[in-house]
Structure 1
Amino acid sequence: MDLGRLRTLRELSIRKTMAAVSEALYVSPSAISQQLTLLEQEVGATLIERRGRGVSLTAAGQVLVEHAERVFAELEIAKADIQKLENLVAGDIRVAAFPSVATALMPSTMRHLNREHPQLNIGFDEMEPEESLAALRTWQTDVAIIDDLNVLAGALDPSIETVPLIEDVFLVMMGKEHPLATKPEVTLTDLLHESWVIDTASKNYTSMITQACQGAGFDPRIVARCKGFEVSVALIREHCGISILPGLRASRDLTDVEVRPLKPEIRRKISLAFRKGQRHSPLIRAFINACVHRAAEVTRSVKE
């Protein structure tokens, strides 16, 4: 039975539509449909049925996905066990992380691993948490760095393990001459009449900001919606607006921008995610250890 076709069926069980599976696997919808047809021929049973614009798994399809989960888990364990026998940190590993944590952790982590394990080849992809988790489920990456703002703990796939990495505290950012720059800390009510610059890379971040402001009794007056941190900071620097942005972002390259703690705090927990059975792989273990060590260094520097 073809493993690639099994993975396609498994992804369909999660994403529900051919179009979503096509987008996740970077394969055309017609190719996805063909793979599933061939899989049905292999097993001699109907695995999917169309319902409106979507599709659902038949009882046979659900049973096959359950078995496929166990097969993939065993293959991961076998791969890790073989690597452990060799006790050699060598080979390829792909890592996906979102911009703020990637900026703070990835360069030094990769530099350390390149020095300590020259036979380990790290490939990095910048992805938002939900995207990187989808890549992890479909074997397009080996480690995904995620947060609990975008990926709720209860929503994690049972085949995914996580290791806590770091907690990130959101901070208020404003121009150097902003009146609030004279205050040691800022409350949400202090921001009642401000213009806001919002990073729209994560819809959950936007929702978090909106809900926090509404909880303080107002709707944020958003004047700029940006897809990247560079534009956001440029606008803040020129006093076009203020923003609440990740503290990990505030630790680097913020010329002419003031940063103040927000009271009460808004935090997010950031974790490393990987497929079950991979924890004992020397490659995965080396990356986890290096990344956790770097995160601890960042945490200490923030406290100092």
Structure 2
Amino acid sequence: MDLARLRALRELSIRKTMAAVAEALYVSPSAVSQQLALLEEEVGIALIERRGRGVTLTLAGQQLVERAERILAELESARADIAELKKVIAGELRVAAFPSVAAALIPATVHELLQLHPRLTVQFDEMEPAESLAALRSWQTDVAIIDDLNVPPGALDPNVETIPLMEDIFNVMVSKDHRLAERPTVTLQELRGERWAIDTASSTYTRMLTDACQAAGFNPHIVARCKGFEVTIALIRENYGISMLPGLRASNDLEDVWVCKVVPEIRRKISLAFRKGEKRSPALQAFIAQIENRVRP
């Protein structure tokens, strides 16, 4: 069976639509449909069926995807074995990470990694944790940086391994003119009645903030929903609202903003995720070592 066709079927099982598969594989939707039609012709049985606007796999399609996953995993394991034998850190390593950790860690990590291993190429893609895990499962990336707010440990695919990287503490950010400026710490109860500007890139973050405020006895008064850090921080600077953002955000230079630690602390655990059996890859080992050096106390 053609490996590209099997990969297209497996992508469909993950992403559910032809358009999403086409985007992931960098081909047209018609090319995806053609690959799947040829695969069905090759095996002599229907593998997909349309339901409304969506597409679902038949029982035969589901069984073939399970076999395809094992085949693709074996190929990746074989590639890792060969790379380990060569002991040469070269080729391409694909890395996916969400914005706050990416801005704080990826540029310096990649710079130092390429200084040590000039024959290595690093391809970086900014993705939210759930998206990067889907990319990992579909062989679109080699290592994903995730957190336990967006991806609880029980939600991990059994074919994915993780290693803990660091813990990140959330902080409240206010303008330099705010009543809480110059305060080293603040409790959530003290934020009742404040206006909030929130980054909505992650729905999990919004839910975490809302749950934390409700546990403190109030609902946050959200006056701005932003799709990125730049607008959020601009609104904070102008004292239009406050926000709760991860400590990694505060690791960057922030002018005209005061950072208060929240008491009690609200934490998230950040991990590296990769496919099982691939940790032996010299390129992956080098990346892990370098990023661990960046976060080591």
Q: Contact 2:14/2:134 (CA < 8 Å) preserved in 1?
A: no
Quick check: 221-230 or 48-57, which moved more? 48-57
TM superposition shift of 1:26 = 4.3
Per-residue Cα deviation, 1:170-214 (whole angstroms, up to 9, x for no partner): 101001121122433111111111010101111111121122212
TM superposition shift of 1:23 = 4.3
1:29-44 matches, within 5 Å, as 29-44=29-44
What SS does the corresponding residue of 1:85 show, helix, strand or coil? helix
Per-residue Cα deviation, 1:226-263 (whole angstroms, up to 9, x for no partner): 12212211211121110000100101111121111112
What SS does the corresponding residue of 2:180 show, helix, strand or coil? helix
Correspondence for 1:286: 286
What SS does the corresponding residue of 1:180 show, helix, strand or coil? coil
1:205-244 matches, within 5 Å, as 205-244=205-244
Tell me the distance in 2 between the aligned counterparts of 1:2 and 1:184.
61
Q: Contact 1:172/1:261 (CA < 8 Å) preserved in 2?
A: yes
Correspondence for 1:87: 87
User: Number of paired residues?
Assistant: 297
Correspondence for 2:57: 57
Per-residue Cα deviation, 1:243-284 (whole angstroms, up to 9, x for no partner): 000100101111121111112221111111112221101011
What SS does the corresponding residue of 1:271 show, helix, strand or coil? strand
The CA RMSD over aligned residues, in Å, is 1.7
Correspondence for 1:105: 105
In the alignment, does 2:165 pair up with 1:165? yes
TM superposition shift of 1:12 = 2.1
Per-residue Cα deviation, 1:114-141 (whole angstroms, up to 9, x for no partner): 1111111112122221222222222222
Tell me the distance in 2 between the aligned counterparts of 1:118 and 1:212.
46
Tell me the distance in 2 between the aligned counterparts of 1:189 and 1:182.
18
Q: Contact 2:94/2:141 (CA < 8 Å) preserved in 1?
A: yes
Correspondence for 1:267: 267
Correspondence for 2:194: 194
Correspondence for 1:131: 131
Q: Contact 2:149/2:205 (CA < 8 Å) preserved in 1?
A: yes
Tell me the distance in 1 between the aligned counterparts of 2:228 and 2:131.
16
Letter in 2 for 1:76: E
Quick check: 81-90 or 267-276, which moved more? 267-276
Structure 1 portions without partners, runs of 5+? none
Letter in 1 for 2:231: V
Correspondence for 1:16: 16
TM superposition shift of 1:70 = 0.9
1:293-304 matches, within 5 Å, as 293-296=293-296, 300=297
Correspondence for 2:68: 68
Structure 2 portions without partners, runs of 5+? none
What SS does the corresponding residue of 1:177 show, helix, strand or coil? coil
TM-score (structure 2 length as normaliser): 0.94
Letter in 2 for 1:141: T
Tell me the distance in 1 between the aligned counterparts of 2:196 and 2:118.
45
Tell me the distance in 2 between the aligned counterparts of 1:207 and 1:24.
28
Q: Contact 1:76/1:276 (CA < 8 Å) preserved in 2?
A: no
Tell me the distance in 1 between the aligned counterparts of 2:9 and 2:105.
35
Tell me the distance in 1 between the aligned counterparts of 2:30 and 2:149.
34
Per-residue Cα deviation, 1:276-300 (whole angstroms, up to 9, x for no partner): 221101011111111112122xxx3
TM superposition shift of 1:106 = 0.9
Tell me the distance in 1 between the aligned counterparts of 2:157 and 2:23.
19
Q: Contact 1:24/1:134 (CA < 8 Å) preserved in 2?
A: no
TM superposition shift of 1:31 = 2.9
What SS does the corresponding residue of 1:179 show, helix, strand or coil? coil
Q: Contact 1:25/1:138 (CA < 8 Å) preserved in 2?
A: no
TM superposition shift of 1:83 = 0.5
TM superposition shift of 1:111 = 1.6
Q: Contact 2:185/2:261 (CA < 8 Å) preserved in 1?
A: yes
Q: Contact 1:174/1:242 (CA < 8 Å) preserved in 2?
A: yes
Q: For the structure 1 residues 155 and 29, does the alpha-carbon distance in structure 2 shift closer, same or farther, using more than 3 Å as the test? A: farther
What SS does the corresponding residue of 1:193 show, helix, strand or coil? coil
Per-residue Cα deviation, 1:18-75 (whole angstroms, up to 9, x for no partner): 3443444444433322221111111122112233443332221122111111111111
Give percent identity, aligned residues only.
Answer: 68
Q: Contact 1:235/1:241 (CA < 8 Å) preserved in 2?
A: yes
Correspondence for 2:5: 5
